[in-house]
Amino acid sequence: MQAKIGIIMGSDSDLPVMKEAAEILDHFKIEYELTVVSAHRTPKRLNDYAQTAAAKGLKVIIAGAGGAAHLPGMVAAVSNLPVIGVPIKTSKLSGLDSLYSIVQMPPGVPVATVAINGAQNAALLAVQILALNNQDLEQKQQEYRQEMEAKVLKTAAKLEE
Amino acid sequence: MQAKIGIIMGSDSDLPVMKEAAEILDHFKIEYELTVVSAHRTPKRLNDYAQTAAAKGLKVIIAGAGGAAHLPGMVAAVSNLPVIGVPIKTSKLSGLDSLYSIVQMPPGVPVATVAINGAQNAALLAVQILALNNQDLEQKQQEYRQEMEAKVLKTAAKLEE
Amino acid sequence: MQAKIGIIMGSDSDLPVMKEAAEILDHFKIEYELTVVSAHRTPKRLNDYAQTAAAKGLKVIIAGAGGAAHLPGMVAAVSNLPVIGVPIKTSKLSGLDSLYSIVQMPPGVPVATVAINGAQNAALLAVQILALNNQDLEQKQQEYRQEMEAKVLKTAAKLEE
Amino acid sequence: MQAKIGIIMGSDSDLPVMKEAAEILDHFKIEYELTVVSAHRTPKRLNDYAQTAAAKGLKVIIAGAGGAAHLPGMVAAVSNLPVIGVPIKTSKLSGLDSLYSIVQMPPGVPVATVAINGAQNAALLAVQILALNNQDLEQKQQEYRQEMEAKVLKTAAKLEE
Amino acid sequence: MQAKIGIIMGSDSDLPVMKEAAEILDHFKIEYELTVVSAHRTPKRLNDYAQTAAAKGLKVIIAGAGGAAHLPGMVAAVSNLPVIGVPIKTSKLSGLDSLYSIVQMPPGVPVATVAINGAQNAALLAVQILALNNQDLEQKQQEYRQEMEAKVLKTAAKLEE
Amino acid sequence: MQAKIGIIMGSDSDLPVMKEAAEILDHFKIEYELTVVSAHRTPKRLNDYAQTAAAKGLKVIIAGAGGAAHLPGMVAAVSNLPVIGVPIKTSKLSGLDSLYSIVQMPPGVPVATVAINGAQNAALLAVQILALNNQDLEQKQQEYRQEMEAKVLKTAAKLEE
Amino acid sequence: MQAKIGIIMGSDSDLPVMKEAAEILDHFKIEYELTVVSAHRTPKRLNDYAQTAAAKGLKVIIAGAGGAAHLPGMVAAVSNLPVIGVPIKTSKLSGLDSLYSIVQMPPGVPVATVAINGAQNAALLAVQILALNNQDLEQKQQEYRQEMEAKVLKTAAKLEE
Amino acid sequence: MQAKIGIIMGSDSDLPVMKEAAEILDHFKIEYELTVVSAHRTPKRLNDYAQTAAAKGLKVIIAGAGGAAHLPGMVAAVSNLPVIGVPIKTSKLSGLDSLYSIVQMPPGVPVATVAINGAQNAALLAVQILALNNQDLEQKQQEYRQEMEAKVLKTAAKLEE
């Protein structure tokens, strides 16, 4: 089946963070593709990826990057699909550089930014977007939230004992 | 016609920023509702708003807030709709407080954060989401981008003269 | 006996920090309850907790949270009791995000914020508040301070030897 | 009648901010005294003020200061009363210096910190503390909140027209 | 005569800053071209500009941008010429966002970053680079420095009177 | 012999940093005393220390503190001696809190601030001050600098081999 | 009479701040010289100034600089006199850049740093240093502090009326 | 053969970072010299180094420094060669201090700043500058980029399997 979500990252060193997005999509049984696209080392690949994304059936692109972190913004400049940016924590500026580079986009080209290392939420946001036209997914999503709630309640109950 | 996008803000002092979101939606002829919901002064209203949003037909909620800026995150906690957060610039910490409060959501409850005062991009992101299932809108969106591009090219041409 | 202080936290990962508040209250023999309330994963529980807090006899609520850290502010929005917020240190922004989210509350709804990871001081502040109408507690509090002072003087004496 | 709340500030240049605390206390008809105490220029006065505060009937001290901002912390070091610190916005570091100096107190000596320039909330926090043993005040406080809520609802209604 | 330096900027609102680079090049009688290239609104133009820069005779590219500020880094990703980045001061984060986005490039693709709004120094750096193979320019450059020095000495003399 | 320099710190956890000041003074054979004075836990001791410092022969006070870090500023408020402040690195805000609290003193009461954890330089600054009236010390100081220089030259020579 | 204090600054745009240091020294009738020395535009002058400072009778050098702000540190590297650094507020980074550049000196070469724009305190620190060997000055200094205290007490009295 | 690039650093503790610059130059077979020059401990050596750099054949100077980090700026003040500054990560302020000190140079004296610890890019920038007049080097540089690109594509292919 054709992937609906593209998960891309600037370097495979971002994989430990970004695979959490994949795990969420696995949980919701949403097809995705996952690969490395470097804005700075493979600018042509970035262009190709962004230009063909919609045509090949992608609905949302999740892009993680650290430091100068141009990947999400440049994909959003080329493609009209919703782009979700994941600022990767860096060893020098803790991901503040990644966050500012990704979130401070100029008027006209949005990137939906999540928390530093927030790949899980990037995937959940993609699920929310797909669920707008997929009742099944909307249902699963509600269950996911109920499970989260239940887990907190259980932890609370244990603490209160 | 029923509104598809809810634009809310923590205080009417946020209106000069947030009405830019409304103007974008006007341009794309997308129905929206716009109002004030204060997370801290009207917590019950916040709950009601978030709980009924999907049922009354909203697809996306755009929430602007400044300072502690709990509005977007709390709406996202109650509603399953995609929530787009707009950090409002503050006179004390320039909106850094708003940005951190909105973007640093914990795993499980995403807020799609845009730039400080980036209400325009919040609306464009909502358009992108709606356009996933609306070819007409997708078409208008491409035209919008082409106009943006044309305007830059015109400015460039003038500068190069 | 009925608890006078409620200690809540956004996640049980905050427990190592927040139990220091409990230890202080143990020292002063003040009844407290301690549990997990997640603003984002259990918003209904948050509402219930805050709405019933005063009626069940709580005098002060100590709320610890990290990242977007909406818990203290939202409890303060619903309950009229004094709320003391403890910004939890985070691995990405060192707790700056937690601090700004908790302390930068808008006019009308205060949160008494202590230092990052300052759960001990949150409890001591609660003791000070209760001691305003409890001479016994006021007495113990003075002794606590004298012991602190004595400990510093002893350390100083040893260093000066 | 004897003042219950002491409002102090490091310099009379802080008065435009700190008088907002006085206005809140006026609204709630709570007696207060308001004066200047400089931690650095009048350290003896600071000591005297803090040492006699409880004996002369004060229940809570609200202390505003900017920059190095030692006033709240040093009053809290000398007096056992709850001390509420108001970080004053500065022209150089926007009040970040004031905020860090006031909130980052070491274990043992808490300062209840509110937002930068948050004098209004400092007073409301003091009201909450006094209301714990004053049903009349508790009642007034609820009315205050209802008025706040009503004002937001009215603004919202006007915006929605 | 063919331009040796390309001065580009993300928006014509950057012109007041970037024209200072042009003035320096005018002073040194170095041919340059100046135009607008938006990384986000005209990504194709960016690619074209960067790909043809060397072939048409440019030796150095000076790129100014604010906010997410991807222009310098993306030009550097496509072209092999030295790229000098000028972080433009922004109204929200004072140019910290621009600075981090421009300077924190990953290994492999450098951007020579100057101070926030430092367009003048960007041009002087370009002059230094060209002067490595142009004795005439090297000579002029030394005179420029001597004039700077002389101006300071004159100011100093006046102050010392 | 009577101590000329007082080295004080807010807590004995600051000792590993502050003893580097002592080692420098040992090297220069300058008498010093070293102890703990807590601004917040022993405010009376702080007052006594600062008030008697000049009378007992101290010429300079070196004060290290972390977090809210009121010690150097409060000693400077009480004593007229030059006070050198050492901001101690903290586990939460890396010492930024300590730095701002110590350096941002209001007009009238200076604290000579050195780098975060810069106890060594605090001592060297004290040596420079004493050397103004002590030719012997001035001489030793020049030798110290020459040794520093020699060490760098030696390292350089080794690297260049 | 020979100047005892050298007041230097990186540019005459720093004069409005730095002349406050001169006014303090005028008040204390201490001879000083005031001039411009640019670390970057007149490095030779910097060297000359620092190398001859002690020989011509200067006891303390007060150096103000903004941005990269190398002046105080480089003077301290060349001269053995105590150097007091004044970080000048900048329009871009508010003086944070100046502060970090001046205060974060490496072990071996101290700069006594005061608050951003704290030229007044720089002068008072110089007075404290000179007063160590000048009873007359020590006396005047105490009077200065008493006047400061008196002024605060007067303001306080007026506010308390 | 005579060195074309000078790699200098403030302390040999910067060597682990700065040797990455050397490795890049080795790869491109560009002659370089590498040594320690401390702006603060060996100011005379700094002057000598900068003054003789051009005459002895250097074309570009790469200077790494941490903390107050005056080395790159002072070398740029004395020499007319292009100076590339590498802000070294520090244990206290993560290299923010180094970055601000190096990049925020005043008009007239540029330093081409790269990322925190970005020594590799400093060398690549030097290569780009030399390649402007060296076709061979230009060729090698393109191959280097193609290899980088190829490596990313290979990683991507593996991930996509």
pLDDT tens digits for G91-123? Answer: 889 999 999 999 999 999 999 999 999 999 999
pLDDT tens digits for B83-125? Answer: 999 999 998 899 999 999 999 999 999 999 999 999 999 999 9
Which residue of G107, G125, G133 is in closest CB contact with F82?
G125
H112 touches chain E (CB under 8 A): yes
Q: Which helix (H) or strand (E) holds G130?
A: helix G119-131
Whether F152 and H15 lie within 8 Å, measured CB to CB: no
Which residue of F148, F149, F159 is in closest CB contact with H34?
F159
Cα–Cα distances in angstroms (integers) from residue C11 to residues A27, A89, A153, C34, G50, in the given order: 23, 22, 11, 12, 58
Within a 13 Å sphere around the CA of E5, how many CA atoms are in the beta-carbon half? Answer: 27
Which residue of F41, F91, F94 is in closest CB contact with C148?
F41
G102 touches chain F (CB under 8 A): no
Q: Using 50, 70 and 90 to split pLDDT, how confident is the model at C59?
A: very high
Determine the Cα–Cα distance for residues C46 and A20; give it in Å rounded to an integer.
28
A110 touches chain B (CB under 8 A): yes
Could you tell me if G133 and F121 are in contact, meaning their C-beta atoms sit under 8 angstroms apart? no
Whether F153 and H45 lie within 8 Å, measured CB to CB: yes
- Return the structure tokens found at F117: 């954890």
Could you tell me if H85 and H105 are in contact, meaning their C-beta atoms sit under 8 angstroms apart? no
**DSSP letter string, C90-139:** -TTTTTHHHHHHHH-PPTT---EE--TT-HHHHHHHHHHHHHTT-HHHHH
Which residue of H89, H95, H152 is in closest CB contact with A38?
H152
Q: Which of H44, G49, G101, G125 is nearest to F145 (CA)?
A: H44
pLDDT along chain E (161 residues), means of 10: 92 97 98 98 98 97 98 98 97 94 98 98 98 97 97 96 85
Determine the Cα–Cα distance for residues D21 and D7; give it in Å rounded to an integer.
8
pLDDT tens digits for F31-43? Answer: 999 999 999 999 9
Residue G157 burial by Cβ neighbours in a 10 Å radius (0-12, 13-18, 19+): exposed
Could you tell me if F95 and H91 are in contact, meaning their C-beta atoms sit under 8 angstroms apart? no
Model pLDDT, residue B1: 63
Determine the Cα–Cα distance for residues D58 and E109; give it in Å rounded to an integer.
64
Could you tell me if A15 and A8 are in contact, meaning their C-beta atoms sit under 8 angstroms apart? no
Q: Which of G66, G9, G14 is nearest to G32 (CA)?
A: G9
Determine the Cα–Cα distance for residues E103 and A139; give it in Å rounded to an integer.
45
pLDDT tens digits for F43-63? Answer: 999 999 999 999 999 999 999
Whether D106 and F74 lie within 8 Å, measured CB to CB: no
Model pLDDT, residue G1: 63
Distance from CA of B113 to the nearest CA of D (A): 23
Which residue of H101, H103, H108 is in closest CB contact with G40?
H108
User: How many other C-beta atoms lie within 10 A of the C-beta of residue D60?
Assistant: 27
H48 Cβ neighbours under 8 A, 6+ residues apart: none
Handedness of CA D1, D7, D11, D12 (dihedral sign): negative
pTM over 0.95: yes
- Give pLDDT tens digits along chain G (161 positions): 689 999 999 999 999 999 999 999 999 999 999 999 999 999 999 999 999 999 999 999 999 999 999 999 999 999 999 999 999 999 889 999 999 999 999 999 999 999 999 999 999 999 999 999 999 999 999 999 999 999 999 999 999 98
- Give pLDDT tens digits along chain B (161 positions): 689 999 999 999 999 999 999 999 999 999 999 999 999 999 999 999 999 999 999 999 999 999 999 999 999 999 999 999 999 999 889 999 999 999 999 999 999 999 999 999 999 999 999 999 999 999 999 999 999 999 999 999 999 98
pLDDT tens digits for F102-155? Answer: 999 999 999 999 999 999 999 999 999 999 999 999 999 999 999 999 999 999
Q: How many CB pairs under 8 A join D and F?
A: 106
A91 touches chain C (CB under 8 A): no
Asked if the ipTM is above 0.95, the reply is yes
Could you tell me if A145 and A151 are in contact, meaning their C-beta atoms sit under 8 angstroms apart? no
Determine the Cα–Cα distance for residues E6 and B159; give it in Å rounded to an integer.
13
Handedness of CA C147, C148, C153, C158 (dihedral sign): positive
Nearest CA in chain C to A148: C41
Angle at B87 between CA B81 and CA B92, to 5 degrees: 155
SS3 of chain A: helix, strand, coil, percent, to 5? 50, 15, 35
Distance from CA of D141 to the nearest CA of G (A): 27
Could you tell me if H34 and H18 are in contact, meaning their C-beta atoms sit under 8 angstroms apart? yes
- Ranges of H-type helices in A8-134: 15-27, 43-53, 71-78, 96-103, 119-131
Q: Which of D104, F70, A103, A17 is nearest to C94 (CA)?
A: D104
G17 touches chain F (CB under 8 A): no
Angle at which helices A71-78 and A96-103 pack, to 10 degrees? 10
Q: Subunits touching G (CB < 8 Å, at least 3 pairs)?
A: D, E, F, H
- In our burial notation (b when 16+ CB lie closer than 10 A, e otherwise), range E122-137 reads bbbbbbbbbbbeeeeb
Among D residues 121-150, those touching chain F with beta carbons less than 8 Å apart: none
Determine the Cα–Cα distance for residues E96 and E88; give it in Å rounded to an integer.
9
Model pLDDT, residue A92: 85
Instruction: Collapse the DSSP code of G46 into the 3-class scheme (helix H, G, I; strand E, B; otherwise coil) and give the result.
Output: helix
Model pLDDT, residue G2: 86
pLDDT at H2 over 90: no
D77 touches chain F (CB under 8 A): yes
- Return the structure tokens found at G99: 């502060």
G45 touches chain E (CB under 8 A): yes
Determine the Cα–Cα distance for residues G110 and G106; give it in Å rounded to an integer.
8
Average the pLDDT over H137-142 and give the result: 97
Model pLDDT, residue B99: 98
Q: Which residue has the tokens 């009648």?
A: D1
Instruction: Collapse the DSSP code of D90 into the 3-class scheme (helix H, G, I; strand E, B; otherwise coil) and give the result.
Output: coil
**DSSP letter string, D13-72:** GGHHHHHHHHHHHHHTT--EEEEE--TTT-HHHHHHHHHHTTTTT--EEEEEEETT--HH
Determine the Cα–Cα distance for residues F70 and D100; give it in Å rounded to an integer.
11
Q: How far is CA D78 from the centre of its chain?
A: 17
What's the DSSP call for residue H32? E
- Return the structure tokens found at B2: 């029923």
Q: Which residue has the tokens 């600018």?
A: A43
pLDDT tens digits for F66-89? Answer: 999 999 999 999 999 999 999 999
Determine the Cα–Cα distance for residues H3 and E83; give it in Å rounded to an integer.
24
pLDDT at D118 over 90: yes
**DSSP letter string, F48-116:** HHHHHHTTTT--EEEEEEETT--HHHHHHHH--S-EEEEEEP-TTTTTHHHHHHHH-PPTT---EE--T
Model pLDDT, residue D92: 85
Q: Which residue has the tokens 């300062």?
A: D111
Mean pLDDT of chain D: 97
- Give pLDDT tens digits along chain A (161 positions): 689 999 999 999 999 999 999 999 999 999 999 999 999 999 999 999 999 999 999 999 999 999 999 999 999 999 999 999 999 999 889 999 999 999 999 999 999 999 999 999 999 999 999 999 999 999 999 999 999 999 999 999 999 98
What's the DSSP call for residue E105? P
Instruction: Collapse the DSSP code of B93 into the 3-class scheme (helix H, G, I; strand E, B; otherwise coil) and give the result.
Output: coil
